[in-house]
Structures are given as C-alpha cells and as structure tokens.
Structure 1
Amino acid sequence: MRCQLCLKSGMSGNNVSHSNRHTKTRFKANVHKQTLDRNGTPVTVKICSRCLRSLHKSPKVRKAFAALK
C-alpha cells in the first residue's frame, strides 16, 4: 500500500544472517485506513503513521491533506 499524503510505499533490502548470508526482503510502509475530518466532512484515507502523527504539527502535511481529493 501507499500513503496518500506523502506517497511513501515500500523499500527493498536484505536480511543479513549471523553467517552474513543476504536474502532479499521487502520493508512495507506502516499504512492504515483512517477516517479524518476535512472541512467538517469525514474522509477515509490511507495514511502512514508518520503523516498521521505529523498531521497535527506540520503545516506542510496539513496543506497536503487539504489538497487531497
């Protein structure tokens, strides 16, 4: 899944064992469905936990949420 505000999705990387063997893995973004209030109307968005936390702090994220369709 992908965050609708910051467009964060997953990353790829390696699991590294004690014997230093590398196997491919995927690190997914921490995305949740959240119902937020936008101009008095409830809107359901898929939002990462970082944006949800920053929504009450950062004007940049609040502006991105206001521009969300």
Structure 2
Amino acid sequence: MSRVCVICGKGKVSGNNVSHSNRHTKRTFSANVHKVKIEIDGKESNEYVCTRCLRTNMNKNS
C-alpha cells in the first residue's frame, strides 16, 4: 500500500542528494501523510491524507 494522499494525490517524488564535492546520487522525498479517519461519499474510512489537505479541510470546518 503506497502512502499517497487520497484528496490531492501527493506522493513520493525523486531528486538528488548533493554532496559537498557536488556528487549527485538519487533519493526520494516522501509526502508528509498521516492516517486519518475521514468521510468519503457518506462512508467513514481510515485513509492517508497529507498535512496540507488536513490544514485546508480543518479551516473549512471551523
């Protein structure tokens, strides 16, 4: 099961580690996702949601 945001689809992206001598090696950046109980189409389920979507949805509910 991949850790991808259910709302916006944000997931892993690739990039480079760059050393002091400017050597590049591949690495991945993981999305900051948390498992949250959310309601989708009237059903509650535990899904992964990124923190940006959590912040946005929390402000809408307030």
The TM tier, using the shorter chain, reads 0.7 to 0.9
2: CA distance between counterparts of 1:2 and 1:43?
15
| Alignment counterpart, residue 53 of structure 1, candidates 47, 52, 55 | 55
Which structure has the highest strand share of the two?
2
Shift of 1:53: 0.8
2: CA distance between counterparts of 1:41 and 1:21?
49
| Alignment counterpart, residue 19 of structure 1, candidates 18, 21, 29 | 21
Q: Report the AA paired with residue 47 of structure 1.
A: V
**Identity across the alignment (%):** 49
**Structure 1, unaligned stretches of length 5 or more?**
59-69
**Structure 2, unaligned stretches of length 5 or more?**
none
TM-score, with normalisation over the residues of structure 1?
A: 0.69
TM-score, with normalisation over the residues of structure 2?
A: 0.76
Structure 1 segments of 4 or more deviating over 6 A?
A: none
Alpha carbon RMSD of aligned pairs, Å? Answer: 2.2
